[in-house]
Copies of this chain bind each other. A is one copy, B any other.
Amino acid sequence: MRLTGTDRPIEGDPVRSLPSDPRFETDAGEPALRWGILAPGGIAAAFVRSLRHTVQRPVAVGSRSLDRAQRFAAEHGIESAYGSYRELVEDPEVDVVYVAAPHSEHRELGLLAIAAGKHVLIEKPMATTAEDVRLLAAAAAEAGVFLMEAMWSRYLPQAAVLRAVLREGLLGDPVTVVADHGQLIPFDPNGRLYRPELAGGAVLDLGVYAVQFDSMVFGAPRALTAVGTGTGTGVDATATLVLDHGEGRQSTLTTSLAAASPSRAFIAGSQARIETGELFYTPTTLTLSGPELDEPVRWVDDSGRDGHLGLSWQATALASFVASGLRESPLHTLAETAEIAGTMAEAIRQIAPA
């Protein structure tokens, strides 16, 4: 078990540390891409604010409402504002389009940006079915552009540490993942997450983080059992997914729109386990525990980019990948994105939310 000689200090003990991952070093030297923001809602604002910590440049914003686009542009110091998505994706000053519209529009708007020859970052979930992710992937390959889901957790510094811990076998053989993501989204039949036609529900919006966390460790499940409750508006309010990964490996993922939970995740293995702090999908802490360790080893994100400022890492990763000539994320491939969409679709099918 290698716990020294690496580059991330831990709390309380200057000698030991958790390993890091060279791929985490993607935040210096990558080119400054020019970003077009498609749909100026809350997550778009958080993303643009996060870019101030990088060399990435938001240069244009497009909305169905020109007024809304202009207000967003003024607030965030963005040069161009458009009253249609088509004008945005066709702006020759834009290198990459960030699709931040509701889930239900991701496929069509992704295809629109791809058709315009732009690289594309699509908010999670990229699409609501595996088939739609594959459709987007095929279109991007055909157009020769880069396509990636905005699964920002995969690009946080802690994700690099987690990958290194797994790669170096510090946990022994991983046995189980338990991950939870619950938020209290007050009931509103007109709210985005309560509307089936906007692809609302807990699984697609919140549970997706837990599914991708599990997928990072074990890949796609061999079998899935999902149990949940409905909101009364046709989407899932609460869900538990039990994933069979074969050879006795079983993971459990919980998600809810009905209550705010600590939203932790852990991976337990035959030799040790690693646990995140609260809100595991944001920049947080990691704690490695096991019988071979006198005390738990702790890693703390000291990047200074807390909460949604952590959205910045996916942008710098994308710029780095594009500069390397890649067409998809090596840390979250399009095939894996499709598998995760398939797992979520099957979970929702089993829950059959009313």
Contacts and interface: CB of A to CB of B under 8 A. Distances in A.
A260 B252 contact: no
A238 interface: yes
B242 A262 contact: no
B228 A259 contact: no
> What's the number of copies of this chain in the assembled complex?
2
A191 B144 CA distance: 59
B240 A250 contact: yes
Nearest to A228: B250
A268 B184 CA distance: 10
A260 B268 contact: yes
Given A180-B178, A229-B248, A248-B238, A261 B256 contact: no
A178 B261 CA distance: 9
A176 B250 contact: no
Contact of A259 (B176, B180, B256): B176
Interface stretch (A126-134, A269-277, A315-323): A269-277
Majority-rule SS of A interface residues = strand
A34 to B, nearest CB: 38
Given A262-B273, A264-B264, A266-B261, A256 B175 contact: yes
A337 interface: no
A275 B262 contact: yes
Rank and list the top 6 A-B pairs by shortest CB-CB distance, nearest first.
A259-B268, A175-B259, A227-B242, A229-B248, A240-B252, A240-B242
Interface of A: 175-176, 178, 180, 182, 184, 225, 227-229, 237-238, 240, 242, 244, 248-250, 252, 254, 256, 258-262, 264, 266, 268-270, 273, 275, 289-291
